[in-house]
């Protein structure tokens, strides 16, 4: 699953086709229940009595504005703190800056 960690204003300028937007503060500055909903609904994580089960969790690829941007690292750190398996987390460090510099396709959300 490809995740755009940027704010909605940045996403409106263009994003990678097929990506979903998950603002970097939704995992770090949100209630435990909202975070659990994100994990379950988007990432296929299941919740037991007190712990998360990451057995079927999706592999995630995060990106933001570019190598200088800290939004994806914030999302990644939040997930690792929750126990998300690091081997299922990827980081496209070049972000939109590299994507657009290479002339790759972007889309604007409707």
State the pLDDT confidence band at 50, using cuts at 50, 70 and 90. Answer: confident
Does 49 have pLDDT greater than 80?
Answer: no
Describe the strand order of the beta sheet including 89-91 as a list of residue ranges.
20-21, 2-4, 60-63, 89-91
pTM of the model: 0.91
Mean of all residue pLDDT scores within the chain: 93
**How many C-beta neighbours within 10 Å does residue 65 have?**
18
């Amino acid at each position: 699953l490809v995740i755009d960690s940027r704010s909605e204003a940045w996403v409106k300028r263009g994003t990678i086709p097929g990506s979903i937007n998950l603002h970097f503060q939704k995992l770090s500055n949100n209630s435990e229940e909202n975070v659990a909903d994100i994990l379950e609904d988007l990432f296929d994580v299941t919740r037991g009595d007190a712990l998360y089960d990451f057995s079927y969790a999706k592999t995630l690829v995060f990106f933001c504005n570019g190598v200088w941007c800290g939004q994806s690292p914030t999302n990644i750190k939040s997930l690792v703190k929750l126990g998300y398996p690091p081997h299922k987390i990827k980081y496209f460090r070049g972000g939109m800056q590299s994507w657009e510099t290479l002339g790759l396709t972007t889309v604007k959300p409707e």
